């Protein structure tokens, strides 16, 4: 399964695409969609949406996952983040693909085994899973990859359970 993970932000939206069977994960691409805080917010949202569509077209993920909002520094930041998430979900919704949402606690528990892991611990585990030479453009990109791997693991389990229960019905 090819999964796109997204870590939303109004200045930096991280993305990562992995190919996974739920146990083994292979990096396809990761990076950051950057916008300038000097640009009008509507323009920035447009950049994020267009770049996300480009990523979807170029890398053809079958499913996607977005990290849930944990906290924001202030109300204005939270509202901007909500707008970015809305744009991301709109673009993903256009595809009709299955989209998951995971808390940072769930992602860290899944990838590291400890929900309060530091970002460096997450990156170390990602390197272990994806290859020791893996380089992350930023923490946003590595967070997005962790979201993608978390989703791949969860969905693989869900699909195996659904397949085994369907076989039991026959």
DSSP secondary structure string for all residues of 70-137: ---SSHHHHHHHHHHHHHHHHHHHHHT-EEEEE-HHHHHHHHTS-TT--HHHHHHHHHHHH-TT---S
Is residue 63 part of the annotated active site? The answer reads no
Domain ranges of the chain: 2-169
Better pLDDT: 131 or 88: 88
Q: What is the pLDDT of residues 3-52, one digit of tens each?
A: 999 999 999 999 999 999 999 999 999 999 999 999 999 999 999 999 99
Q: Of 67, 94, 133, 143, which is the active-site residue?
A: 67
Instruction: Name the catalytic one among 11, 39, 58, 140.
Output: 140
Q: Facing residues of 63 across strands?
A: 3, 98
pTM: 0.92
Question: Is residue 7 flagged as an active site residue?
Answer: yes
Question: 67 an active-site residue?
Answer: yes
CATH topology of domain 2-169: Nucleotidyltransferase; domain 5 (3.30.420)
């Amino acid at each position: 399964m090819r999964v796109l993970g997204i870590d939303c932000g109004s200045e930096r939206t991280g993305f990562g695409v992995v190919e996974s069977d739920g146990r083994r994960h292979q990096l396809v691409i990761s990076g950051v969609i950057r916008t300038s805080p000097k640009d009008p917010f509507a323009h920035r949202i447009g950049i994020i949406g267009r770049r996300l569509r480009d990523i979807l077209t170029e890398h053809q993920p079958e499913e996607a996952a977005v990290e849930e909002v944990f906290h924001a520094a202030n109300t204005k930041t939270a509202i901007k983040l909500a707008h970015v998430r809305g744009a991301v979900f709109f673009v993903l919704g256009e595809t009709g693909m299955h989209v998951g949402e995971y808390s940072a606690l769930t992602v860290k528990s899944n990838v590291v085994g400890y929900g309060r892991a530091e970002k460096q611990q997450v990156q170390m585990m990602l390197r272990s899973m994806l290859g020791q030479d893996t380089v992350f453009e930023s923490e946003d990109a590595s967070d997005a990859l962790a979201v993608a791997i978390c989703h791949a693991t969860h969905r693989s389990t869900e699909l195996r359970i659904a397949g085994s229960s369907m076989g039991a019905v026959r």
